Amino acid sequence: MIAVTVLIVDLVISITSIIIVKQQSTRYLKDTAALYINRINHDFDYMNHYMGWTLANDETLNMMNAYNFNSIEFLESNESLRSKFTELQKNYGQEFNFFYYLKNHSYFLNCAPLSVTYTDYMELKKKIMSFIDDTEVYEKFYSKWTPVLVNGKYYVINIVPYYNRYLIGMISADNLIRPLREINLGANGYASLVNDQGTVLTSPVSNNGRPVSRDEGSSLLMQQRTTISSEFLGTTFSARMVIQFGAFEKIMIAQLLIVLLFFIVTSSLFVIMVFFNKRVLGQIQSFAENLARINEESQPADYKSSKIIELEQANSQFKELVEQVKIFKIAMYEQELEKQRIQLDYMKQQIKPHFFLNCLTSIYSMAQIQSYQEIEDMAMTTSKYFRYLFQNGENFVPLEHEIEHVQMYLEIQKQRYQDAFSYYVELPEKAKNVKIPPLVLQTFIENSIKYAISRENEVQIRITVKRCLLADDIKATQIQLSDTGPGFPPEVLEKLEAGLPLDQTKGTQIGIMNTLKRLEYLYYNLASINFANLPGGGASVTLLLPDLPEQTLEGESGQ
C-alpha cells in the first residue's frame, strides 16, 4: 500500500513538474530572446541613423566623390572614413561589415575590417552593385535589413543611398543568431533566422552541434508549444527557437524505475535488518552489558564470540586499558607523594639555622656598640623576614609580596656586609599583583650573596620584572635576576643549560634543583628558566612564568 501510494504521488508530482518546468523554460527563453532582439533592433536603428547622417553631413564622402581615387585628398578622406567605421565596428562587434560605393567612379570598397572570405566579398560586391542599379533600391533596402543569399550562405544587408553615393552595412545570418544559439535549448533544440516565406536563413545546426535537416527543422517549427518566435523591427525576417529537452519525455520512465528500485531496496533492507539484528545487534548488546558490569575495582569478564572477532579484540584491548588506567593512577599517586616530599625538602632548606644565628649575632654586636636604632631596624626586618617565611603556606603569592620579602633579606645582608653590595629593583605597577610561587626568587638571590660578594669590589644585584606575550597570545611575566660577580662555574652552567641535575651530595645546590622541580609541577612544564653568564662578568637568571587560569591558582592555593 505504501509503495502504490508513493507511485501515484510520484507520477502526479512528475507530471506537474514537467508542465511547470516547460512553462518556466518557455517564459525564460521568451524573455531572453526579447532582450536580444531589442538590442539588435537598437543596433540596427543606430547604424541606419549613423550611415544616413554620414552621407548627408560628413564631407568625407563629398571629398572622395570630388577627387580621383588616386589623389592625396581621396586617400586622406578614405582613411578618415575607415577610421570612423572601424570605431563603429568595435562598438557593435567585428561581425558587422561596412562598405561604401561611389557611383560616379564605380568604386566599391570596405570601410572597416572584413570578416568574410574574399570569394564571398567579390560575390557580395556584384550583388550590391546590381541592387544599387535597381531604381527601387531606396524602397527595398533603406532602413530595412534584408537577407541576401551569397554562395549558399545568407547575409543580412542594409543599403543607405544619398544621391550618387551609398553606404552598406552587412552581417552574416549565422553571426546574427549566434548569441541565441549559446542558450541551452536542450540536446536537440536549435535557434534560426526565418524570412517571410518561412525559409531558414541560418545553418541547420542544433544546440549540441548535430546537423538538422530542413524537413526536420520545418516539422519542429510547427510545434507551437516548444517554439518561440520573435520579430525584428524593420526587417523581413524573424528569430525562432525550438526547445527540445529530451529529459522531459524520459522523466516518467525514470520515475517508474525509481519505484521499482524502491521495492527492491525495501525488500533487501528488510532481509538485511533481520540478519543484522540476529548476528550483530544481539552480540553488541551482550558485549555492552558485559562492559556495564565493570567498575574500578573489578576486571571485565572474558567475552568470547565465535561470530564477531572484532568484539573479542575490543574486549581484550579494553582489559589492557583498565590495567593501564590502574598503573597510571598508581604513578600519579607516587608523583603526588614525590611532589609533597620535594616541597617539604624545600621548606627545610629555607629554615637555615646559621642565617638565624648570624642575624642574632649582628644584633648582639650592635648592642655592644649601643647602636639602638640599627638594633630596632635589624630586629624588625628579621622579624618580618621570618614571619613571611614561616607563615606562608600558599603555592602562589602576589609578586609584590615576594619582592618585599627579597628586599628584607637584602637589607638584613647589608647589615652584615655593609657596603659590599648594592641592589636595584624594577617592578612595573601592572606586574605587582601577578601570582608566582613564594620564595622562588629567594634561592637565586641567596646564590648571588653567597658566591658573588667579595670584599674587593662592590657587587650590584639587579631584579627586573617585565610583562610580555608568548605564543598564542598567552600573557607571561619575565623576571631577570643578575649580579656583577664571577658568574656560574663552566661545569655548573653547562649542566643547567642542558637541563641535567646538579651534584647535591655535599648538601649544596639543593635550592636550585628544588626550585626547578616546583616550577615544573606548578606550571605544568610551561615555565622556563634561562641561566647565563653576562659578557661583562656576572651571572644572570631569567624566569619566564606564564599566567595560569584563575581556577588553577585558586586550586593550587587551596591544597
pLDDT bucket at 454, cuts 50 / 70 / 90: confident
Per-residue model confidence (pLDDT) at position 429? 92
pLDDT at 479 over 90: yes
**SS percent in the chain: helix, strand, coil, step 5:** 60, 20, 25
Q: State how far the Cα of 227 lies from the Cα of 221, in Å rounded to an integer.
A: 6
Helix residue spans in 351-427 (DSSP H): 353-368, 372-391, 399-417
Do strands 421-426 and 459-469 pair parallel, antiparallel, or not at all (unpaired)?
parallel
Query: What single DSSP character describes residue 109?
Result: E
Q: Which residue did the predictor score with more confidence, 297 or 482?
A: 482
Q: What are phi and psi of 476, to 5 degrees?
A: -150, 165
Following CA atoms 254, 260, 263, 269 in sequence, which dihedral angle do they give, to the nearest 10 degrees? -60
Length of the chain: 559
Q: 404 pLDDT exceeds 50?
A: yes
Mean pLDDT of 306-329: 73
Average pLDDT over residues 166-190: 82
Which position has the grid cell 546574427? Answer: 176
pLDDT band at 186 (very low <50, low <70, confident <90, very high): low
At 446, the amino acid letter reads E
54-88: pLDDT as tens digits: 988 888 888 888 888 788 888 889 899 999 999 99
What average pLDDT score do residues 271-288 get? 76
- Which residues have C-beta within 8 Å of that of residue 526, sequence separation ≥ 6? 546
The whole-angstrom separation of Cα 227 and Cα 223 is 6
Q: Is the pLDDT of residue 227 over 50?
A: yes
Cα angle 323, 331, 325 (rounded to 5 degrees) comes to 25
Residue 325's nearest CA partner among 313, 314, 317 is: 317
Neighbours of 204 (CB within 10 A): 14
* Range 362-390 average pLDDT: 75
Query: Given pLDDT bands bounded at 50, 70 and 90, which one contains residue 467?
Result: very high
CA distances from 141 to 58, 110, 146, 148, 210 (A): 21, 18, 7, 11, 34
Cα–Cα distance, 172 to 155 (Å, whole number): 4
Is residue 277 over pLDDT 50?
yes
pLDDT of the residue at 139:
67
Digit-coded pLDDT (tens) for 231-265: 787 787 888 878 776 555 566 567 667 767 877 88
Take residue 154 and report the three cell numbers written for it: 545568407
Burial of 199 (0-12, 13-18, 19+ CB in 10 A): middle
Q: How many CB atoms lie within 10 A of CB 239?
A: 22
Residue 236 is given by DSSP the state S
Burial class of residue 300 (count of CB atoms within 10 Å of its CB; 0-12, 13-18, 19+): middle
User: What pLDDT band is residue 461 in, cutting at 50, 70 and 90?
Assistant: very high
pLDDT at 223 over 50: no
Tell me the backbone φ, ψ of residue 531, rounded to 5 degrees.
-105, 135
Question: CA–CA separation, 438 vs 191, rounded Å?
Answer: 89
In the chain, what is the straight-line distance between the N-terminal and C-terminal CA atoms, in Å?
70
Per-residue confidence band for 346, with pLDDT thresholds at 50, 70 and 90: low
CB contact at 8 A, 236 and 199: no
Residue 387: count other Cβ atoms within 10 Å of its Cβ: 12
Report residue 505's pLDDT band, with 50, 70 and 90 as the boundaries. Answer: low
For the ranges 63-67, 177-181, 447-451, 504-508, the lowest mean pLDDT is seen at 504-508
Q: What is the DSSP letter of 395?
A: S
Mean pLDDT lowest for which of 32-46, 61-75, 314-328? 314-328
In the numeric block, the cell 551609398 is attached to 166
Buried b / exposed e over 160-185, threshold 16 CB at 10 Å, is bbeeebbbbbbbbbbbbbebbbebeb
Identify whether the C-beta of residue 36 lies closer than 8 Å to the C-beta of residue 254. Answer: no
The HSE-up count of residue 364 (CA atoms within 13 Å, CB side) is 6
Report the alpha-carbon distance of residue 559 to residue 552 in Å, rounded.
11
Give me the percent of the chain exceeding a pLDDT of 70. Answer: 77
The CA R_g of the chain, rounded to the nearest whole Å, is: 51
525 torsion bin: left (phi>0), alpha (psi -120 to 50), beta (else): left
Top mean-pLDDT range of 63-67, 207-211, 448-452, 529-533: 529-533
Which pLDDT value is given to residue 98? 92
Question: CA 28, 29, 34, 37: dihedral to nearest 10 degrees?
Answer: 150
Q: Is 478 helix (H, G, I), strand (E, B) or coil?
A: strand
Whether the predicted pLDDT of 408 surpasses 70: yes
Contacts (Cβ under 8 Å, ≥6 apart) of 412: 359, 362, 378, 381, 382, 385
For position 220, what pLDDT does the model report?
41
pLDDT at residue 427 in the model: 92
* pLDDT at 532 (0 to 100): 92
Q: Which of the residue ranges 25-34, 446-455, 540-549 has the most confident prediction, judged by mean pLDDT?
A: 540-549
Instruction: Give residue 544's pLDDT band: very low, low, confident or very high (50, 70, 90).
Output: very high
More confident residue, 36 or 335: 36
The model's pTM is 0.42
pLDDT at residue 400, rounded to an integer:
92
Residue 250 phi/psi, 5-degree rounding, is -95, -5
Model confidence over 193-222: pLDDT tens digits?
888 888 888 877 766 666 665 444 444 433
Residue 530 has a pLDDT of 92
Which three cell numbers, joined as nine digits, stand for 317? 584491548
Mean pLDDT, the chain, rounded, equals: 78
Q: Please return the burial class of 252, using the count of CB atoms within 10 Å of its CB with bins 0-12, 13-18 and 19+.
A: middle
